[in-house]
Amino acid sequence: MSGTIDELIARIKDLPVSEVIERYVHTTRKGTQTLAVCPFHDDNSPSLNINDQRGMWFCFVDNMGGDAIKFVMLYRKLEFMEALRDICEKLGWSFDDYHQQKKTSPKIEMGKKLLGNTMKLYRKLAETGQHQPFVDFLEKRGLSQETAKTYQLGFAPPNYALFDYVSSIKDEKDRSFALSVAEELGLIKKSTYGEKSHYDTFRDRIMFPIWDQFGQVIGFTSRSISDEQKPKYLNSVESFLFNKKNILYGLHLAKNVIRERNQAILVEGNMDQIALYKNGFENSIAIMGVALGESSVVKLLALTKNIVLSLDNDQAGWRAAIRINAQLMEKGVTPQFLDLGEHKDPDDFLTASGRDALAKRIEEAKPFVDIQIERSLPEKVPELAERKLDLLKSIFEILSPLKNSLSASERVILYAKRLGLQSDSASIVKNYEEYLENQNRPTSRALPPQENRPIIENENESYEISEEKVKIDRQLTAVETRLLQNLVQHPELMLRDEIAELLDFVGNNEVKGYILKLRELMYEIDETEYASVVQSLMSDDHYSAELTAVVGGALYRYQEANLDEKISLKMIIDIKKNLEVEKLKEEKKHLKSLHGNAQTDEDQKQILAQLLQVDKKLSELKSSTRNKPAK
């Protein structure tokens, strides 16, 4: 059976939801109900209710729910397409039969087939044990056979092994096509002498396959077996499948662990990633070279916002870390810096100091931007005011990718104080904001030139990844969760005029966007279609798993009954007040932080006056709630 992804989704939804969930957790039947111990909290008695008639599950403790696909996304910490693939594997279906929305070109199909078979060829040659340089390499680097198998490490012999394989294709047309694709991929090259028309690019080398995030081989990097052999490292050429800047080595192995630990360790080079992975740091990935493409940034931030930079401990590695740090700060993410001390790279650190020492360094890692600023400052602060201002301007430049965020403003004030500048905090921040305005540029200078929209290559299809799909909003607050629950359970609330005013106090853009989308649909659908429309929106991978789980839980409790006018108005007023209180508390927290870093008495007085105003507003809101007359 074959079809589209939409047809696969429909086929999954046609199944009893319990049939999918029971492949992941133990379920029990109790009368007409199917129950399970909920995996999303510390559950002793079954609180997960699975309703096949409604095609949904619901947890009475977590107050969330959804369909079978959403359960797998949450339980296995997978993205939407990955969850579909996982369900297919559990059910014994072929995901690839549905994964054909765009027809792959014959060249791409041949390229992937060649790369896969080349990996198998080099791996088979390595496994024979007859090539001593490969055996010596594993022993010298402390790599077990298990690690070599995990990474499919191989050996390219000094002869024409790959060319002979391509030449063995019986059909002349297929052989000629395979030869041309292999040449374009840089696996073989034309020969200008000798009896062979081509020769293997990789000879006498340790071979490292490079995969995309889905585990498809897209190229190779290789290491020489002797000091005389040049170059020491040789990569696949840039091609229609291989783009070095858009590769995160080891991502196919690390992505689930990155989601689970909510942290990624970014290193430079495949051996550092392998060393970290085999020592228990399975959330590590490596850049290829010293650049991070925009596509890689998108992939990374879709998994976590907690990133630890641990590039090579040399000038090239430091410069690369500065560039990558700026790229990530542009996205509102502040990476940490893993201090390797005198060691040249993570592999060297692990060999010398061991796993526990590295784990301690990771735990103690500080924001990279702070380390960068510290290293840019002289040991002794100059006395001349002009020199101090020059240093402050260099700090502005370092912080500029963060724009006028609170994180940047706090650091501007802190370091101005460190430099001994006497201007008040407000003036310093204003000066920084003027600096940002004067830059007059669309993106940070630290960013590479704009690329085409990033492409992630999957086994049978290329998908364009929109940055809109990268969730970098904070988690839902209790009030935002309650707002979603009330609106989904009582959709008539969405059509009230007061909702537009209420949304001004919602800080989470994803929540706001979801409500506006649902409100728009409410004007177009009949009431009887409501539940199915909300359920279909839950399968839209533009929305985070957290948001759709809350929506699913609310939908499970939805009943077609309109609220009394007075009750609905009271609900909206209460939520609005709670959102206002939430916003004021955030403002109060920010002002307290500024007050603690104030440099002058005048600054402290001004901030204190603002704090009093916020406290007054909070008091008035609480008082109006308490003193509201009973109806």
The terminus-to-terminus CA distance of the chain in angstroms comes to 62
Give the residue with greater pLDDT, 359 vs 604. Answer: 359
**Residue 453 confidence (pLDDT):** 31
In the prediction, which pLDDT does 469 show? 33
Percentage of the chain beyond pLDDT 90 is: 42
Q: How confident is the model at residue 239 (pLDDT cuts 50, 70, 90)?
A: very high
- More confident call, 477 vs 419: 419
Q: What is the pLDDT of residue 80?
A: 86
Structurally, what CATH architecture does the domain formed by 5-97 represent?
Answer: Alpha-Beta Complex (3.90)
8 Å CB contact between 28 and 22: no
Pairwise CA distance, residues 181 & 183, whole Å: 5
Residue 23 has pLDDT above 60, yes or no: yes
Q: Which of 139-148, 499-508, 537-546 bottoms out in mean pLDDT, i.e. has the lowest?
A: 537-546
pLDDT band at 445 (very low <50, low <70, confident <90, very high): very low
Q: 565 or 37, which is more confident? A: 37
pLDDT in the model for residue 462: 31
Residue 58 has pLDDT above 50, yes or no: yes
pLDDT, averaged across the chain: 84
Q: Report yes or no: 320 and 311 within 8 Å, Cβ to Cβ.
A: yes
Position 126 pLDDT exceeds 90: yes
Q: pLDDT at residue 464 above 50? A: no
Return the higher-pLDDT residue of 545 and 225. 225
Position 314 pLDDT exceeds 50: yes
Mean pLDDT of 325-335: 92
Q: Is the pLDDT of residue 38 over 90?
A: yes
For residue 540, what pLDDT is reported? 66
Share of the chain above pLDDT 70, in %: 90
Across 390-394, 478-482, 502-506, 531-535, the highest mean pLDDT is recorded for 390-394
Lay out the sheet containing 217-224: strands in order across.
154-156, 205-211, 217-224, 233-235
DSSP string, 471-506: --SPPPPHHHHHHHHHHHH-GGGGGSTHHHHHHTT-
Q: Is the pLDDT of residue 584 over 90?
A: no
CA 549 to centroid of chain Cα atoms:
19
Least confident piece of the model among 19-23, 68-72, 374-378, 465-469? 465-469
pLDDT for residue 107 is more than 50 = yes
Q: What is the mean pLDDT of residues 485-509?
A: 82
Which among 75, 53, 52 has a CA at the least distance from the CA of 62?
75
Give the pLDDT band of residue 21 (cuts 50, 70, 90).
very high
Neighbours of 478 (CB within 10 A): 9
**Whether pLDDT at 1 is above 80:** no
pLDDT in tens, 285-311: 999 877 788 888 888 887 889 999 999
Stretch 24-44: mean pLDDT, rounded?
A: 87
pLDDT at 449: 37
Query: Which residue has better confidence, 121 or 380?
Result: 121
The closest alpha carbon to 540, from 2, 48, 5, 88, belongs to 5
Closest residue by Cα to residue 303 from 367, 351, 255, 253:
255
Average pLDDT over residues 437-448: 52
Cα distances from 161 to residues 135, 176, 203, in angstroms, run 19, 17, 9
Least confidently predicted of 114-128, 381-395, 434-448, 494-508: 434-448
Give the separation between CA 234 and CA 583, rounded to whole angstroms.
54
Is the pLDDT at 630 greater than 70? The verdict is: no
For residue 541, the model assigns a pLDDT of: 64
Q: Which stretch of 164-173, 341-350, 424-433, 539-548 has the lowest confidence by average pLDDT?
A: 539-548
Provide CB contacts within 8 A for 411, sequence distance 6+.
Answer: 369, 370, 373, 395, 399
- Side chain identity, residue 371: I
Two structure tokens written together for 159? 């002869």
What pLDDT is recorded for position 560?
72
- Any idea where the domains of the chain sit in the sequence? 5-97, 106-242, 478-562, 575-626
Q: How many other CB atoms sit within 10 Å of the CB of residue 313?
A: 20
Highest mean pLDDT among 242-256, 354-368, 596-610: 354-368
Cβ burial of 470 (10 Å; 0-12, 13-18, 19+) is: middle
Evaluate whether 289 touches 318 at the Cβ level (below 8 Å): no
Instruction: Render pLDDT for 177-221 as a digit per residue (tens, 0 to 9).
Output: 999 999 999 999 988 776 678 999 999 999 999 998 878 899 999
pLDDT of residue 122: 97
Q: Pick the more confident residue, 597 or 144.
A: 144
Residue 446 pLDDT grade (very low, low, confident, very high; cuts 50, 70, 90): very low
Q: What is the pTM of this model?
A: 0.63
Q: If 0-12 CB within 10 Å is exposed, 13-18 middle and 19+ buried, where does residue 240 land?
A: middle
pLDDT score of 130 more than 60: yes
CATH superfamily of domain region 106-242:
DNA primase, catalytic core, N-terminal domain (3.90.980.10)
pLDDT at residue 628 in the model: 53
Dist. CA 209–CA 355, nearest whole Å: 26
At residue 458, the pLDDT reads 35
Look at residue 78 and tell me whether its pLDDT is greater than 50: yes
